[in-house]
Structure 1
Amino acid sequence: MNNQTTEQLLDAIRREAAQLDIKTQPEPQPLPAEESPGQMSFEQRLRLPSKPAYHYREFLQFDDEAFVRNAFLCILQREPDPAGLQSYLNKLNDGIEKQGILAELSGSEEAKRYGVRIRGLKGYRMIARLRRIRTLRPVAQRLLGLYRRICELPNTEEMNQYRANILQQLSWMSRQLQAAEHLTELSRQQVEQLKQQTGKQGEDNALLREENQTLSKQLANLSHKIAYQHQALATRPSIPAEPNSAKAPAVAPAIDDSDVSAFYVAFEDACRGTREEIREKMSKWLSYLTAANTGSNRVLDIGCGRGEWLQLLGENGYAATGLDINPVMVNSCTEQGLTASLDDALTWLQRQPDASLAAITAFHVIEHVPFELLLRWTTEARRVLQPGGVLIMETPNPENILVGSHTFYHDPTHRNPITPTLLEFLAEYCGYADSELVRLHPYPEEAKVSGNDPLTERVNGHLCGPQDIALVARVPEAEAAE
């Protein structure tokens, strides 16, 4: 990455964080009052002293033209030419940081002839290099925000420990970025080799798309991780040091909810499938909502995730609301213009009037909650659904031995599988009518054991049958007349 790696970026951030208490040069003093200010040159009034090394903070006391001229005089050993002066003044007016301008000047070929060092800019230089790669610009912007926040933290023991924890997280991210960069380079090499060997452009495009999808997933996971760390740093309250208090023993930082949430978002992106794949799988459920025909268009989706189902509902004329306990998932939905909130499902249902919703859905949610809560959800849903309204709850199918004994436990937040028998009885017990079980997503044919005898078919049924099952339960239409 332009001869710099993101690991170097993190090394630079650590060094800069350790130098936060560096003492800058004193502000230049004007000449005595008896000399007329109008007769003093720029160098006499505002110029920094000439020396072989500076810290970038020494330049921050100047603004506009004084800043640009000091940067040229100290770094390039000359006055700025008119075009250069105007160019950098325009950049300042456009919101470019002074640190970015100092990094640009000190990294130029002209500056190398003089060897003047500006400390504290390595992080800015390498983040700027990240920005030049289009796919990494969002990640670079979040890193820049974190870098600024870390530099602003006071040098207390508690804050230093927290800073070390953040930098450890960033170090992990850098290694993942390096892996992503390697994957990108490998993709380019493979495409080039394929072109030379076969000349089939269609195969080249397919390989490139596959590699780019993998890279996009990895970068999305990193963005989620950075977003959580940035949110945690921005909202963490400062803890004032107590004078004359004894130092507390060092304690390893605990893993908080944001760590688990960030992991779960990355896990979902890596294992659940693309947005297009999820939309295709969920589109079949639209026919069940149409069949309900309640006259209402309000739908609640519990555990809305990234919002694929909410988006489908909106496109088909439903007023859909999503609930989720993961703030990044909720933010993803609201950024798409969808209605979603960080709310408890039972509390939300209890606030709704009787017979006010057309449908309630929960896709791969009920296996995450204790049965007592599932029972209360189902009971409250029965109350708020209109006559003819439908409740749809999809969950992994334990009838499939591979699901019940293995793949169900890929997700560390799963509690226990829920059997079809329990789902059917739950609907009957809570007063639903015309409930049915829909079995979904069997393993592909090539996964099955070959053979047509009854034993082979039975084995294939247990091992390669539907991986998911859904309860579709309806409120009796007869309630409309009661």
Structure 2
Amino acid sequence: MDRSICESEPAPDAADLADRGAIERLFVVDNPEFVRAAYRFLLGREADETGRANYVNQLARGASRLVVLGRLRMSQEGRRAAVPVAGLKAVVAVTAADRLLRRAGLGAVALRAGRYADRLYARYVIRRSLLAWRGRFENTVGVVLRHGQQVEQLSRRLTDMHEELVPRPVVSPETIDAYYLAFEDANRGSRDSVLAKLAIYNDWLATCVPHAEGLTHQIVDIGCGRGEWLSYARQNGRDAIGIDVNRVMVDACIAQGLNVRCTDALTYLRSLPTGSVAAVTGFHIIEHLPFDYLFALVQESYRVLVEGGSVLFETPNPENVLVGSHTFYHDFTHRNPVTPSAIWFLLKYHRFEAIDIIRSSPYPEEAKVPGNDPLTERVNGHLCGPQDFAVLGRKQSAAGVQA
């Protein structure tokens, strides 16, 4: 195929417009750039400071750009360079008329006449540009017509490649949402058992979630799922809103009378004012997220928190070998385990203070290897230790994180 179909000319920089012989393009830049480019085109050099300041001041007082071009072109230096200018006779005539009017004491008339001449020249430029583009368009159409069959074949091939590379979904998002709720019901535990586990955060809820006035929300729970944490917060007298993209789970929460929105967590956080939330929480959500999204989520969480506000993110604990190598992958939507050290540093990087790790949900005693020797205890620690951990962090207030 003709390369002209696929390649386009890059847009010119304002400083080199004149270098390409299109002096009419100078009329689209600001006054300092206009003077600089006019010097380069007409005199072949950079503008000296005195000349640049002189012409910029004239233009600022309403002088005609055509007159400035004419003065440069008709100077001794400009005559020696003899650069061809589109519509040179008109430029010379306008410049001469401007000089005569000023000598006659009609400076105001000269300014109005110059501005009128600029408008006429602009129309002339537009007409030249349209004619040039018309020629290029007709040439392109001719090329396309000559190679129309090749274009059609290429288009069909690209369509085929797209269908090959981007498989169509075989089930609807709603079907997956319903499956995930059933998966949670079967594997996460009963509602009562989850509520019982949340009691380990009583102290955090009482001491690290400030009761500030005028907040949009006290708690924003991202990936709220079936709503256990929302219910727990409500039982403890806290205002909380849940965010989830799973419509089936959102509907289940609404049926319980919980305040839930079906939207993307990052989009929702970005809609909130700075310093408008006492806490941001997320239970078993960060292991589902790509790193750039998690990075932005932590960043936005810090922004929306009130001074002294807190974050709490709970996730499967890969320090437990069975969790990190086996049970973590029961959930098809998990991306990768998140280590305590990694999420601790991510919070530290985003200026959170008083960062702490709470480990929870160890395997029952009957699952451990019998024995009290150091090796057995170490094995049990790796295989039967806490299955979850939470990272906590606070946004420092003017009086410190204790405020």
- TM-score, L = length of structure 2: 0.55
Separation (CA, whole Å) in 2 of partners of 1:350 and 1:386: 15
Separation (CA, whole Å) in 1 of partners of 2:246 and 2:390: 23
Give the letter for the 1:255 counterpart.
Answer: V
Matched with 2:31 is none
Separation (CA, whole Å) in 1 of partners of 2:400 and 2:385: 39
1:447 and 2:367 are equivalent in the alignment: yes
Matched with 1:74 is none
1:290 and 2:206 are equivalent in the alignment: yes
Q: Deviations over 1:364-409 (max 9, x none)?
A: 0000110111110001100111111110000001111000000000
The range that moved more, 381-390 or 287-296, is: 287-296
Give the letter for the 1:336 counterpart.
Answer: Q
How do residues 31-430 of structure 1 correspond to structure 2 at under 5 angstroms?
A: 254-296=170-212, 298-430=218-350
Aligned residues of 2:312 and 2:393 also touching (Cα < 8 A) = yes
Separation (CA, whole Å) in 1 of partners of 2:381 and 2:209: 35
Give the number of aligned pairs: 232
- In the alignment, structure 1 segments of 5+ residues that lack a partner are 1-251
Separation (CA, whole Å) in 1 of partners of 2:378 and 2:289: 32
Matched with 2:125 is none
Q: Deviations over 1:34-91 (max 9, x none)?
A: xxxxxxxxxxxxxxxxxxxxxxxxxxxxxxxxxxxxxxxxxxxxxxxxxxxxxxxxxx
SS at match of 2:398: helix
Separation (CA, whole Å) in 1 of partners of 2:289 and 2:363: 27
Separation (CA, whole Å) in 1 of partners of 2:373 and 2:203: 36
Give the letter for the 2:339 counterpart.
Answer: T
**Displacement of 1:289:** 2.0
Give the letter for the 1:341 counterpart.
Answer: R
* Distance verdict in 2 for CA 1:253–1:302, change over 3 Å: closer
Separation (CA, whole Å) in 2 of partners of 1:371 and 1:253: 25
* Distance verdict in 2 for CA 1:400–1:289, change over 3 Å: same
**Displacement of 1:253:** 8.7
Aligned residues of 1:359 and 1:391 also touching (Cα < 8 A) = yes
SS at match of 1:477: coil
1:474 and 2:375 are equivalent in the alignment: no
Aligned residues of 2:266 and 2:296 also touching (Cα < 8 A) = yes
**Displacement of 1:293:** 4.9
Separation (CA, whole Å) in 1 of partners of 2:380 and 2:235: 38
**Displacement of 1:451:** 1.1
Aligned residues of 1:357 and 1:385 also touching (Cα < 8 A) = yes
Aligned residues of 1:433 and 1:474 also touching (Cα < 8 A) = yes
Separation (CA, whole Å) in 1 of partners of 2:326 and 2:170: 30
Separation (CA, whole Å) in 2 of partners of 1:354 and 1:322: 19
Pick the structure with greater CA Rg. Answer: 2
Matched with 2:69 is none
Aligned residues of 1:355 and 1:383 also touching (Cα < 8 A) = yes
Aligned residues of 2:211 and 2:218 also touching (Cα < 8 A) = no
* Counterpart pick for 1:436 among 353, 356, 376: 356
Give the letter for the 1:287 counterpart.
Answer: D
* Stretches of 4+ aligned residues off by more than 6 angstroms: none
SS at match of 2:263: coil
Q: Give percent identity, aligned residues only.
A: 51
**Displacement of 1:449:** 0.8
**Displacement of 1:302:** 0.6
**Displacement of 1:477:** 2.7
Q: Deviations over 1:84-138 (max 9, x none)?
A: xxxxxxxxxxxxxxxxxxxxxxxxxxxxxxxxxxxxxxxxxxxxxxxxxxxxxxx
Aligned residues of 1:289 and 1:390 also touching (Cα < 8 A) = no
Separation (CA, whole Å) in 2 of partners of 1:254 and 1:462: 40
* Distance verdict in 2 for CA 1:270–1:425, change over 3 Å: same
**Displacement of 1:479:** 6.2
